[in-house]
Amino acid sequence: MAAYVLGIDQSTQGTKALLFDEKGVLLARADRAHRQIVNDLGWVEHDPEEIYANVVASVADVVEKAGIDRADIACVGISNQRETSLVWDADGRPVHNAIVWQDARATDVCERVRAAGAADLVRERSGINLSPYFPAAKLAWIRENVDGVAEGLAGGGMRLGTVDAYLVYRLTHGASYRTDFSNASRTQLFDIDSLRWDEDLCAAFGIPVAALPEVSDSDSDFGMTDFEGFLPRPIPIHGVLGDSHGALLGQGCLRPGMVKATYGTGSSVMMNVGEKRVTSGHGLVSSLAWKLGGTVEYVLEGNVNYSGAVISWLKNDLRLIDDPGETDALARSANEADRTYVVPAFTGLGAPYWDSDAVGVVYGMTRTTRRAELVRAALDGIGYQITDVLRAMEADSGVRLGELRVDGGPTHNGYLMQFQSDVARVPVAVSPTEELSGMGAAYAAGSGMGIYDVPSLVAGVERKVYEPERDEAWARTKYDGWKHAVSKALSDEGTGDRS
């Protein structure tokens, strides 16, 4: 009998259902988009009921697309958009729309926590700087602003958490109220050293510890589901991972010092640092990678606000290109002597600078700066930002990178990938697949069921590799120019990491 494994990637823009065979080969994919609910204040929400309906429907879509016997599906793994937060009642009904990770309405909550002197405690125990982007502040906002939530949480009639916990609860009809270690580590309510919900952190945000879901191994049995009767028998949800953590697993970054970068609208750069936490002194955050096979592993992570979105800026706002595919040839045709830099701090700078008041800068233009040169500078700005994070990772970990594994739409741009390798001084290995988050969750589930040996699966992947072609002196000169351009973008209060 065949043993198929489902992977569900519930992401910011929609839901992807993936179907893998017993050898870990992707057979089919189905997608369902959901609404982006944005108001005049810039608040960003998702409808949890729509998301749940899309999860169930996308599973039916992918199974029917693959043409397999649905009785042969063994298990399912779920990856989810991290930090997006919601509250629901005991019957699984949401009491408010989910507040998306991009939403910063809980800034006042964070300022109150900061004023109470708890900001250092948050970073020390959770590994993450105090910020409204994380679930602790979002859940506090819902508790304080939605009628009945505070009383429901106190009385045990409400549930709360990230999207993974909500989906597990709904798919099991309330039988399982659980999250995994990767998602828990991103809430700012979880002590990543003692590996438990932290009473002091919960008190700082007004969240009852007893209301939080049970934290389980990322490859454990989270409960049974038949996807609202679509399957002839219930199957186990045997893997749950935050999307970036799923991509780290899908990329095969299973050993300390291995790094992946996902180039999306923004970029997540993540390094596996092994079984001991590494605290960053260079602008990165510490989180858990996962708990797989009973073993906890940690990561260093840096997030770049604008990577693929820079290409959209060239197309939609500057109208310098009609299609992203044009950027490769334009960059290659640019005048080598031109020294223009684009620092895309459109909404501030993320890691390692953490300057929300930084401004975008086009620096160093001369009469040689034309369309091709500006396009090249924008692409280079993506590579420089990733390099900033990689250098911080090397400084924090003491490990010289041997390879950078990459995925996402911009990795199809040969110029950008070669530049990334040249300026970061590291081989860049491009993944042949884009479904890495859902793949990682499916591999975790298949491993938990004894179907997959993950190290063997990921070891056999063939990647296109870009090796450094320029010399180190060229890279040093280019990068020094970038750091100088960044100094022009930083606010007076922004210190950044100018190492």
Residue 266: which pLDDT band, with cuts at 50, 70 and 90? confident
Q: Convert the pLDDT of each residue in 277-301 to its tens digit.
A: 999 999 999 999 999 999 999 999 9
CB environment 14-26: b (16+ within 10 A), e (fewer): bbbbbbbbeebeb
Q: Convert the pLDDT of each residue in 453-492 to its tens digit.
A: 999 998 878 899 999 999 999 999 999 999 999 999 998 7
Q: According to the model, what pLDDT value does residue 497 have?
A: 42
Rounded CA separation 350/219 (Å): 31
- Whole-prediction pTM value? 0.90
Average the pLDDT over each of 52-56, 63-67, 308-312 and give the range with the smallest value. Answer: 308-312
- How many CB atoms lie under 10 A from the CB of residue 484? 13
**Which sign does the torsion angle of CA 470, 471, 472, 475 carry?**
negative
Mean pLDDT computed over 402-412: 92
CATH number (3.30.420.40, 3.40.50.12780, 3.30.930.10, 3.40.50.1700) of 253-430+469-499 reads: 3.30.420.40
Report whether the peptide linkage leading into residue 132 is cis, meaning its omega lies within 30 degrees of zero.
no
Q: Under the phi-then-psi rule, with left for phi > 0, alpha for psi from -120 to 50, and beta for the rest, what region is 408?
A: left
Mean pLDDT computed over 318-341: 94
147: Cα within 13 Å, side-chain hemisphere: 0
Q: At what angle do helices 436-448 and 243-250 cross, to 10 degrees?
A: 80
Residue 73 predicted with pLDDT over 50: yes
Measuring CA to CA, which residue among 88, 26, 36 is closest to residue 62? 26
Q: According to the model, what pLDDT value does residue 493 have?
A: 55
**Which sign does the torsion angle of CA 440, 17, 99, 178 carry?**
negative
Q: According to the model, what pLDDT value does residue 300 have?
A: 96
Residue 103 predicted with pLDDT over 90: no
Residue 226: which pLDDT band, with cuts at 50, 70 and 90? very high
Q: Convert the pLDDT of each residue in 235-261 to its tens digit.
A: 999 999 999 999 999 999 999 999 999
Residue 499 predicted with pLDDT over 70: no
User: Residue 166: what residue type?
Assistant: Y
Structure tokens at 443: 């591999």
Q: Are 203 and 190 contacting, i.e. CB atoms less than 8 angstroms apart?
A: no
CATH number (2.60.40.60, 3.40.50.150, 3.40.630.10, 3.30.420.40) of 4-243 reads: 3.30.420.40
Q: According to the model, what pLDDT value does residue 38 have?
A: 86
Q: According to the model, what pLDDT value does residue 496 have?
A: 44
Rounded CA separation 207/153 (Å): 8
Rounded CA separation 62/17 (Å): 6
Structure tokens at 268: 């997540």
Q: According to the model, what pLDDT value does residue 1 have?
A: 60
Q: How many residues does the chain have?
A: 499
Instruction: Tell me what percent of the residues of the chain surpass a pLDDT of 90.
Output: 83
Burial (CB count within 10 angstroms: exposed 0-12, middle 13-18, buried 19+), residue 211: buried
Q: Convert the pLDDT of each residue in 120-161 to its tens digit.
A: 999 999 999 898 889 999 999 999 999 999 999 999 999 999
Structure tokens at 477: 């000169």
Residue 346 predicted with pLDDT over 50: yes
Domain ranges in the chain with CATH number 3.30.420.40? 4-243, 253-430+469-499
Mean pLDDT computed over 216-221: 97
Task: Name the CA radius of gyration of the chain, rounded.
Answer: 22
Rounded CA separation 429/244 (Å): 17
Rounded CA separation 121/393 (Å): 23
Pairing of strands 235-242, 73-80: parallel
Residue 409 predicted with pLDDT over 90: no
Mean pLDDT, the chain, whole residue set: 93
Measuring CA to CA, which residue among 408, 464, 449, 463 is closest to residue 20? 449
Q: According to the model, what pLDDT value does residue 494 have?
A: 53
Q: Convert the pLDDT of each residue in 374-400 to its tens digit.
A: 999 999 999 999 999 999 999 999 989
Rounded CA separation 462/86 (Å): 39
Q: Per residue, what are the HEC states of 193-258?
A: CCCEECHHHHHHHCCCHHHCCEEECCCCCCCEECCCCCCCCCEEEEEEEEHHHHHHHHCCCCCCCC
Residue 302 predicted with pLDDT over 90: yes
- How many CB atoms lie under 10 A from the CB of residue 432? 9
